[in-house]
Amino acid sequence: MSNTPAPRDDVWVKSTYSDGQGGNCIEWAPSYAMTHGVVPIRDSKTPSAPALMLSPEAFTALVAFARSANV
């Protein structure tokens, strides 16, 4: 994890694992990740809350876990 401030005005992309019914809404900011080398993740229901800042490796592991969990 990183102490880099989370982006506020960046473009956020909703995870394909998020449902469209208002639950499990996870977003990330790919352009911020490419520019800063850390991947911000947030809950789309509370966008003003702090974002979780992950290394690219940790983000990759999180995505692999989500795919394997079949949630």
What are the E-state strand segments in 1-71?
13-14, 26-28, 39-43, 52-54
Q: Please give the pLDDT value at position 57.
A: 97
Domains of the chain, by residue range, sit at: 13-69
Residue 38 carries which DSSP code? S
Q: Which of 26, 23, 18, 30 is nearest to 7 (CA)?
A: 30
- pLDDT tens for each residue of 33-48: 999 999 999 988 888 8
Q: Please give the pLDDT value at position 54.
A: 96
Confidence of residue 71 (pLDDT cuts 50, 70, 90): low
Average pLDDT over residues 1-28: 70
